Chain A
Amino acid sequence: MQDQIIPSTLDPLLAGLSYLVSVLGSFTALQFGIGIPSATNTRERIVAIVAAGAVMGGGAIWYMHFIAMLAWKMDMPMTYDLPITLGSAVVAMLSCMAGLAIVGRGIFSTAKLVLGGALMGLGVSGMHYAGMSAMQMPATIDYAANRVILSIVIAIMASIAALWLAFNMRGIWPQMFSALIMGVAVCGMHYTGMSAARFRSMDSATMAEGVSGNSLGIVIFAIAVFLLSTMLVIQRRRQQRRAQIEI
């Protein structure tokens, strides 16, 4: 049994749900994000950056990661180290805030787009690999370096494309398309990263106490409701503001 590679399967339903969640989170985050350039004062700008980064990092990336981990079935017990798990969320949120702040400030340029997209892509990747290191299980993980690099490249490139669509173009369709692409960035990175991992069993491993993946159901539901209701509130407020604009 020792040093044997542990087989894994993917639950397509949960994998699909993880993509939907990342798209929903991205769309909601971008609704905040595209308000950054039109903020009229520093406070408005900071609120928009923090909200967009928190929803993108926390909802579209971190939350998606744990649904995707539930979708990745392996025949062994598994828990998550709480401090590292929470730290991985902070990594994702801060990098998304930085990326969105750069893209949303001043006149839009290719340099800002690339820098912002790279930060967000690295945030997605950083969150993923930090989240993986939080796993407590009777196994070790080896990574295939070329796929790890590929996963990071996917995250960066797709983030750049998503930001270009969301900030450069106008209207609801580019924003929706942008959210779909950002979902590709997050899920593409995650599943490529998972395919790079080899889990090898360890007989002598001891399981530390941590958060069980099985207890995530209620959290998943709560975050989904939060993302949806936030998005609906933003849309409703914008519709009201549009109606009040005098000609």
Chain B
Amino acid sequence: MIDIEFHIYSNRRQGLLLELGRIVMNSGFNLLRPRMRPTDDGVLLTLAVRGPKKNLLALQDRLSSNPLVCSFESNVIAPAGPVATSGTDLIAKPAPANSGHDMGDGEPDQQRVDVVLGQLADIYPKIFDKVLAFERGLPQNVRAVSTYYAGRRLGAWVFKRNYALGARLNLSKSVKQIALPALRELVRSTELVDGNLYVKDSPLCGMELYSGASCHFLRGHLEGLLGESWHLGNLRATELFCRNTGGEACIFAISPVG
């Protein structure tokens, strides 16, 4: 496994991240942290990715042949290991194989999750004060994974209660008809843009609990919501941008696993 940072120049901003994020994931890499900033001619997208070294050439080929990409360069940051060595803000701790997010090295604290879920069910959808208190009260090594797990179970519960009846929808329609209204119940400003969910004012950001992306609860919530609809198979919610790392909004992409 290696960590690579791509600097990609494009003259089109719209849909760029979604398109390239899919290429990265379809090449067997996990998207660690994307950043985008405007340039004179368009945008510079910096993608930090982690994946198998043997797939790197294929990924570079796909990026270079993509019409949205004007040019790009790539740098190997470091072999994936337990400690960040590059001096960059790249997340370099080992993440669970399928998440692409820094989740710590512990298992979810089942007991605390069970307790908080009982409370969240009573106050849903006004849950964020309780979620934040729960998150703050967790030890650092299990904080992200426990919060993600609680979000996932709450999402599955919400799906069964409110969204189970109706046609089986494909992934893009499920995101529009299930994930979007469900997320709007929690955060009203949520929008759907190019198939990605934009949360402009996630209450989970800016709490100084994480140095990287912080919306583990919402990511889990999305996976629980859509994953409960079994016909879609295994899904992954990736937080492409997070306000906690300077993004204008928290942006979530949903993609099938495998």
A interface residues (Cβ-Cβ under 8 A, vs B)? 34-35, 37-38, 103-104, 106-108, 166-171, 242, 245-247
- Number of A-B pairs, beta carbon distance below 8 Å: 53
- A sample of 8 more A-B contacts (CB under 8 A), given A108-B170, A170-B177, is A34-B165, A103-B167, A107-B170, A168-B169, A170-B162, A171-B181, A245-B157, A247-B118
Closest to A34 in B: B165
Is B164 interfacial (CB 8 A cutoff)? Answer: yes
Q: Is the CB of B154 within 8 A of A168?
A: no
With CB as the reference atom, state the residue of chain B lying closest to A170: B163
**Structural contact, A167 and B167, CB atoms closer than 8 A:** yes
Residues of B within 8 A of A245 (CB): 157, 160-161
B 151-188 contacts with A by CB, 8 A: 153-154, 157, 160-170, 173, 177-178, 181
Query: Known contacts A169-B177, A245-B160: does B168 contact A107 (CB below 8 Å)?
Result: yes
CA distance A108 to B168 in the complex (A): 6
Whether the pair A247, B153 counts as a contact (CB closer than 8 A) is yes
**Within 8 Å of chain A (Cβ to Cβ): is B136?**
no
Distance A166 CA – B120 CA, assembled complex (angstroms): 29
Interface size class of B (residues with CB under 8 A): 20 to 34
A2 to chain B, nearest CB (A): 55
CA distance A104 to B231 in the complex (A): 14
- List, in ascending order, chain A residues with CB within 8 A of B231's CB: 107
Q: Indicate if the CB atoms of A170 and B157 lie closer than 8 Å.
A: no
Q: Which of B117, B162, B168 contacts A247 (CB 8 A)?
A: B117
B contact face: mostly helix, strand, loop, or mixed: helix
Contacting pair B168 A37 (CB below 8 A): yes
Query: B residues within 8 Å of A by Cβ?
Result: 117-118, 120-121, 153-154, 157, 160-170, 173, 177-178, 181, 231
Instruction: Give the residues in chain A near B173, CB-CB below 8 Å.
Output: 108, 168
- Establish whether residues A247 and B157, one from each chain, have CB atoms under 8 Å apart when the complex forms: yes
Most A CB atoms within 10 A — which of B117, B120, B154, B164?
Answer: B164
A168 to B169, CA, bound (A): 7
4 nearest A-B residue pairs (beta carbon)? A108-B167, A167-B167, A247-B157, A34-B165
A34 touches B161 (CB 8 A): no
Can you name 18 A-B residue pairings with CB atoms under 8 Å? A34-B165, A34-B167, A35-B165, A38-B164, A107-B167, A108-B170, A167-B166, A167-B167, A168-B173, A170-B162, A170-B163, A170-B165, A171-B181, A245-B160, A247-B117, A247-B118, A247-B120, A247-B154
